[in-house]
Amino acid sequence: MAKKFEKAVDAVISGDIETLKSLLEREPDLIRMRSSRAHRAMLIHYVAANGVEDERQRTPVNAVDVANVLIDAGAEIDATFLDGGSGTTPLVSLVTSFHPHKADVAAELVSVFVNAGARVDGLKGDGEPLRLALSSEYPESVQALLKYGAKVMNVEVAAGLGELELVEKFVDEGGVSRRELEEAFWSACKYGHTEVVECLLKRGVDIDARGGANNTGLMLASQRGRRDTVEMLLGYGASVELKNDYGGTALGSTMYFLANHPVIGADYAEVIELLLNAGAELNFAGKATGDDEVDDVLRKRGVIT
């Protein structure tokens, strides 16, 4: 039976509908079977990709059809990894996974999962899927979750969505810790919600508070080319000299993002100019970046020829 399960997994990740249907028809119990690996995943988890073995984290173009086959066969849509332990559900894995988003099927898979009964606010009803989709920076999944009724349950999510009035409401009602305010601040910086960032600064958040990998709000905003947010943070005195765990300053880590993880719609040229004008030092190899506007800024500074 274990060998047939492995064949079914291969069919799921390759999009081999015919083989998958044949296996499930001959062995209906495969749909309830779990992997022998530590994650104890079911077939439906392999559609979501995140959390299963690395070499099998693949999303075929017909992943939606694959998901429907599994659901029609009786897949447990809110099954957790680790056989009911602390693992996550397929929906949570999906909205935090690179592969379904790269294949441009994540939003449709959210729809399929929720329509099949997946709890849009998570097993605990705490809004974890939406929070994780936001922190993972997958806007397609964020919008899909909101479309299907996901609730904004905390200040971090409200800030990431740019919901200023809701942020103020959470803060005014009390019970929000300093750390939660910082998480909200970093989320707003990442998404360029300048009014929310300013609101949180006025509520006492340290402008140079360190988040994941010791990134500051300025680093998070700069890396993603959030020009208006960067300008506001610099106006409030954000440090351009601090370094994250990778040794990058706001400017250095922005150059890294530009080269390796550019954000669509980012205004890197103006952000880099703002940082340079604020006294940021540029340790740069002297090669053109390939971004014409950024290279113009660097030429004017004599960094490249």
Pair (142, 188) in one structural domain? no
The DSSP output letter for 56 is: G
Pair (139, 92) in one structural domain? yes
Last residue of a domain, one of 187, 205, 223: 205
Radius of gyration over every alpha carbon of the chain, rounded to an integer in angstroms: 22
**What mean pLDDT is predicted for residues 107-118?**
98
Q: What sign does the dihedral 222-275-238-250 (CA atoms) show? A: positive
Residue 150, number of CB atoms within 10 A of its CB: 26
Domain of residue 108, residue span: 2-152
Pair (35, 80) in one structural domain? yes
Pair (87, 213) in one structural domain? no
Which pLDDT score, from 0 to 100, does residue 230 have?
99
The amino acid that residue 138 corresponds to is Y
Pair (95, 171) in one structural domain? no
Taking 80 as the threshold, does the pLDDT of residue 85 lie above it?
A: no
pTM: 0.92
Residue 134 in tokens: 């936001």
Pair (183, 268) in one structural domain? no
Which pLDDT score, from 0 to 100, does residue 87 have?
67
Domain count, the chain: 3
Mean of per-residue pLDDT scores for the chain: 96
Pair (21, 44) in one structural domain? yes
Pair (60, 174) in one structural domain? no
Residue 237, number of CB atoms within 10 A of its CB: 10
Contact 60, 13 (CB under 8 A): yes
Pair (96, 146) in one structural domain? yes
Residue 72 in tokens: 């029609």
Taking 90 as the threshold, does the pLDDT of residue 178 lie above it?
A: yes
Cα 286 to Cα 252, 291, 295, 305: the distances in Å are 13, 14, 10, 8
Long-range contacts of the stretch 173-179 (C-beta < 8 A, 24+): none
Which pLDDT score, from 0 to 100, does residue 304 have?
85
Pair (237, 266) in one structural domain? yes
Pair (295, 277) in one structural domain? yes
Which pLDDT score, from 0 to 100, does residue 302 have?
84
Contact 81, 87 (CB under 8 A): yes
What pLDDT digit, counting tens, does each position of 216-226 carry? 999 999 999 99
Pair (194, 236) in one structural domain? no
**Domain CATH for 42:** 1.25.40.20
Taking 90 as the threshold, does the pLDDT of residue 84 lie above it?
A: no
